[in-house]
Amino acid sequence: MCELLGMSANVPTDICFSFTSLIKRGGDKGPHKDGWGITFYEGKGCRTFKDPQPCSFSPIAKLVQQYPIKSTAVIAHIRQANRGGVALENTHPFTRELWGKNWTFAHNGQLTDYEKLDTGIFQPVGLTDSEYAFCYLINELHKKYPQQPTNNIELFEYIRECAIKLTQLGIFNMLLSDGEYVFAYCSTNLHWITRKAPFGKAKLIDEDVEIDFQKHTTPNDVVTIISTMPLTSNEIWTKLASGEAILFKNGEISQSFSS
């Protein structure tokens, strides 16, 4: 399996603290040694750092951990290969352009019969079930909405319907972003927490690191972190139910979708 990490914030925020925890699980404390990646949105643009190497030994991961890139939407992933070998083209997150927007996707789980999915003109570059599922999803959006729809809630409701179909092929926890929204869909395991004033201290589970958010924030900041497993030991994380999806924007819940 793999681990997912996402962030939605109302002001450009760095994810160094949470990423520090994630990379400890990438080849050091965890079995997720088969690559890692992180996508930062800045305006309409995004940039992805990725490496098929274990992230706990990657100089690129070290840079990402130490150089605070500030963003309002982030998607990250550490990989334990199941479908598709250890290779750059099989490393999450994956990005495709649709309607002049960069869509970024990462998946935790394992699917069967995914090669049968109709991905249309969005063809996978690598061999993972995850990229197949993403190409299927983007192609479904392209078929249903040749032009960008104006109703975003309806759009993400449709994305959840597609995610439910993909769940029929196996375990399918996913994070998806267009830079404005961060969409979390839970099949088995996904947790989230929203931090806002009054800010307190947080302590990582995987590393002896504590942060006092009050020193790094303003009273108006709102930041949500989404993660496969809780990353801190002294905060209350909420687990998404199976089949539940939450759409975040500017750090807050824009819409919840449940069965």
Q: Name the phi and psi angles at 179, rounded to 5.
A: 95, -30
Asked if residue 65 binds a copy of itself (CB under 8 A), the reply is no
Cα angle for residues 96, 7, 102 (degrees, 5° grid): 15
Q: In the stretch 26-45, what mask flags binding to a copy of itself with x, by CB under 8 A?
A: ----------------xxxx
Asked if residue 100 binds a copy of itself (CB under 8 A), the reply is yes
Asked if residue 88 binds a copy of itself (CB under 8 A), the reply is yes
Q: Which segments of the chain does DSSP mark as H helices, in order?
A: 16-24, 59-66, 129-144, 152-167
Nearest residue (CB) to a copy of itself, 90 versus 108 = 90
Residues 9/222, Cβ–Cβ less than 8 Å: yes
Residues 201/212, Cβ–Cβ less than 8 Å: yes
Nearest residue (CB) to a copy of itself, 104 versus 189 = 104
Asked if residue 198 binds a copy of itself (CB under 8 A), the reply is no
Asked if residue 136 binds a copy of itself (CB under 8 A), the reply is no
Among 8, 20, 91, 224, binds a copy of itself (CB under 8 A): 91
Q: Report CA-CA distances (Å) from 32 to 6, 41, 53, 88, 179.
A: 17, 24, 10, 15, 26
Q: Report CA-CA distances (Å) from 175 to 130, 158, 234, 241.
A: 11, 15, 24, 15
Among 113, 115, 125, 253, binds a copy of itself (CB under 8 A): 125
Asked if residue 105 binds a copy of itself (CB under 8 A), the reply is no
Minimum Å gap between C-beta 71 and a copy of itself is 10
Minimum Å gap between C-beta 128 and a copy of itself is 11
Among 1, 16, 81, 87, binds a copy of itself (CB under 8 A): 87
Minimum Å gap between C-beta 161 and a copy of itself is 22
Among 7, 46, 166, 245, binds a copy of itself (CB under 8 A): 46
In angstroms, the first-to-last Cα distance of the chain is 25
Minimum Å gap between C-beta 5 and a copy of itself is 19
**DSSP secondary structure, 9-29, as one string:** EEEEE--HHHHHHHHHTTTTS
3-state SS class at 152 = helix
For residue 179, give both structure tokens: 């830079």
Q: 16 an active-site residue?
A: no
Asked if residue 16 binds a copy of itself (CB under 8 A), the reply is no
Catalytic residues: 2
Residues forming the site for a copy of itself (CB under 8 A): 42-52, 59-60, 63, 67, 87-91, 96-97, 99-102, 121-126, 142
